[in-house]
Amino acid sequence: MRAVKLRKQDLPAFLKCVQSFGELWGPVREKDRQVLKKTDDVNQIDLTTIRTSLPFKKLLFPPRFSMFHFSGNKYTTSLEHLPNRIIFGLHPCDIHALLIMDDFFTRSFDDPYYTERRKKTAIIGFSCIPDEKCFCHATKTDTVEEGFDLFLTDLDDFFLIWVGSSLGDDMTRECPKIIDEGILPEDLKKYVEWRKYRNSQFKMDIDLTSMPEIFDLSYDSVIWEEEGEKCLSCGACTIVCPTCPCYHVYDKIEMGKIEGERMRQWDSCLFKEYSMVAEGHNFRESRAERLKLRFTHKLQAFVGEYGKPACVGCGRCIETCPVDIDIATIVRRLRGEEVKV
């Protein structure tokens, strides 16, 4: 992989160069939160961000959008005018989530609403030092080799930039004056030390080995009842999860007209209506059933289908859950470890 260097003070200039390729989106601090936002002023970008409150998915399958317009029985869809976007600041966990979503939305069926947006989206990854809620080393998503156009590693006085695609290559060649091609032996040493330091900073550990079998054997466990008892069915964990793709579909119609939009909106498997069919029959009436579905899908089913769990260790659900239902605690309890609840 091609790698180049960028001096720290040149980052704003570099991002301005990048803006010639499309809208720049990056993490911006808003009061006590960090949000992924379109940033015309590159100085707004907050490089200290560990996790944006909502992940990148809001740009690739927005929380609510029109799938098509209908007028009588004419259906028209327009996906031609989507903007080119560059998402800056994705950490390795989110890039892994992006790869999972790429696979999910194209496997066996091409979802045009996702793929058309994805084709116009470039990714500039950014290194991070884990906080107490990060567990990407446990999900094996703490490093990336693909899924980005550029990836910046913060090595104190400069950024080491990995070039991951042809488009990324173009971006570095757009501003040749500030891009340094010469990687020196001491840079390599610095990188190795940085990796060692980062690896030492993980504070949480979750053992995810044998999860599929453990789920099979704990299908009727009381753990689900007990954790379900706490759950508020608010769906916040699914909203913030970078690998939760479920959606609801409904028609929006103008009063007195036979025209409108077929809308797609984020849904949550924790909502009571999620598995409800005609006449109110509900295949997952209890919160325990719904909570079990979420974890089974993430940690068992995905492993069988995609060879890896659909959890990237970003820590968003842990940070967000209002009643402290914690994936780490659930996994420990399923493994039979004593956990204070």
Partner 1 sequence: MTGLTALKNAYLPESMRLIRRYPLIEGVHFFQVRAVDMTRALSLDYLPGQFMMVSIPGIGEAPFSISSTPSRPGLLEFGIRRVGRVTNAIFQLKENQIIGVRGPYGNGFPVEKIKGNDLIIVMGGLGAIPLRSLLLYALDNRDQFGNIYLLHGAKTPSEMLFREEFLNFRYRDDLTCLLTVDQDDTGKWPCYTGLVTRLFQQLTDIIPQKTYVAVCGPPVMYKFVVAELLKLNIPKHQILMTLERRMKCGVGKCGHCIIGGYIYTCVDGPIFTYWDVIHMKGLI
Which positions touch partner 1 (CB under 8 A)? 67-68, 70, 72-73, 75, 77, 79-80, 104-105, 108-113, 116, 119, 215, 219, 245-251, 253, 258, 260, 262, 267, 269, 274-279, 283, 293, 296-297, 300-302, 304-305
Contact 24, 89 (CB under 8 A): no
Taking the complex as a whole, the smallest distance from the CB of residue 260 to partner 1 amounts, in Å, to 6
Judged by beta carbon, residue 41 or residue 259, the one nearer partner 1 is 259
With left for phi above 0 and alpha for psi between -120 and 50, is residue 48 left, alpha or beta? Answer: alpha
Nearer to partner 1, 56 or 105 (CB): 105
104 or 194: whose CB is closer to partner 1?
Answer: 104
Dmax of the chain from CA atoms?
72
Task: Find the shortest distance in angstroms from Cβ 122 to partner 1.
Answer: 15
Closest CB to partner 1 among 48 and 108?
108
Least distance (Å) from partner 1 to the CB of residue 331?
15
Give whichever of 15 and 59 is closer to partner 1, judged by the CB atom: 59
Whether residue 47 contacts residue 39, with contact meaning beta carbons closer than 8 Å, is answered with no
- We find the least distance from the C-beta atom of residue 71 to partner 1, in angstroms, to be 8
CB of 259 to partner 1, least distance (A): 8
> Mapping DSSP to helix (H, G, I), strand (E, B) and coil, where does residue 136 land?
coil
CA 22 to CA 174: how far, in whole Å?
13
CA nearest to 17, candidates 182, 181, 168? 168
Q: Which is nearer to partner 1, 113 or 126 (CB)?
A: 113
Dihedral sign (CA 225, 227, 230, 235): negative
Q: Are 226 and 287 a contacting pair, CB within 8 Å? A: no
The residue with tokens 């993490």 is 27
Q: In the bound complex, what is the minimum distance in angstroms from residue 278's beta carbon to partner 1? A: 4
Judged by beta carbon, residue 110 or residue 132, the one nearer partner 1 is 110
* Cβ 184 to partner 1 shortest distance, Å: 42
138 CB-near residues (< 8 Å, 6+ apart): 204, 205, 206, 207, 208, 313
Give me the least distance between CB of 309 and partner 1, in Å please. 11
Q: Give the three-state DSSP class for 161.
A: strand
Q: Which is nearer to partner 1, 116 or 131 (CB)?
A: 116
Encoded tokens for 289: 């059933």
Q: Which is nearer to partner 1, 64 or 189 (CB)?
A: 64
Q: Classify each residue of 67-95 as buried b or exposed e, where b means 16 or more C-beta atoms within 10 Å of its C-beta.
A: beebeeeeeeeeeeeeeebbbbbbbbbbb
CB of residue 94 to partner 1, shortest distance in Å = 21
Q: Are 50 and 131 in contact (CB under 8 A)?
A: yes
Tell me the backbone φ, ψ of residue 117, rounded to 5 degrees: -70, -40
| Partner residues linked to 3 by β-bridges | 162
CB 60 within 8 A of CB 117: yes
